[in-house]
Chain A
Amino acid sequence: LAKTTQPISMDSYEGQEVNITCSHNNIATNDYITWYQQFPSQGPRFIIQGYKTKVTNEVASLFIPADRKSSTLSLPRVSLSDTAVYYCLASRGNQGGKLIFGQGTELSVKP
């Protein structure tokens, strides 16, 4: 499992776009990048997953460059409710495999 590195914390203001970058230099060919969100005293929640280029869903976008050594989670127009910890994981394409969490990025959105 590839180790991931993220900023420990980030601050933003309501309405801004937030980009959280994750480094995964040792990502393997069959690893996918997955992002989870966790609120205090709750279990993590899946946000988005990608393998390369760009993936977009109703809550976020994920940008992955050609070399796949990093990825960027983009949250458009954040609100106070987006204050949470965001985890980036690089995991294998085999269903049921365990996930090892890194330190995560604590995002604080201010009014």
Chain B
Amino acid sequence: GAVVSQHPSWVICKSGTSVKIECRSLDFQATTMFWYRQFPKQSLMLMATSNEGSKATYEQGVEKDKFLINHASLTLSTLTVTSAHPEDSSFYICSAAPGQLYSGANVLTFGAGSRLTVL
């Protein structure tokens, strides 16, 4: 089945540094990938839509200069948290739709998530 690999699974960094998270579709091509963040005991919040070969589309309230998204190929999207601060500590999850698996609506395959802790 469709697999989305996310790396690293967890990362700890100092305040002010930048952290890059990779999201790869292993057995399918994804022109579109989605990035979510999730705080403890809360639901997933969509941050942005990553489009291969073009700029990402950010949801309202998400700082595009803070969360840089690059979708350079059909199998790789990256999220860079720039100048990270403790309030950026969260669980970041990427996802992609592997195509028309069903006759219905889009079904997303999610990565395992990346736990970011900023000290």
Contact = CB atoms under 8 A, between A and B. Distances in A.
A70 interface: no
Contacts of A97: 105-106
B1 to A, nearest CB: 10
B106 A46 contact: no
Interface residues of A, number: 27
Contacts of B45: 101
A103 B43 contact: yes
Contacts, number: 72
Contact of B46 (A31, A98, A104): A98
Interface stretch (B11-19, B69-77, B80-88, B93-101): B93-101
A31 B104 CA distance: 8
A50 B103 CA distance: 10
Contacts of B97: 95-96
Interface stretch (A10-18, A71-79, A85-93): A85-93
Contact of A46 (B6, B32, B43, B107): B107
Nearest to B1: A46
B113 A104 contact: no
Interface of B: 4, 6, 31-32, 34, 36, 43-46, 49, 91, 93, 95, 97, 99-100, 102, 104-113, 115
Interface of A: 31-32, 34, 41-46, 49-51, 87, 91-104
13 contacts: A32-B105, A34-B105, A42-B113, A43-B111, A44-B44, A87-B43, A93-B105, A95-B99, A98-B34, A99-B34, A99-B108, A100-B46, A101-B44
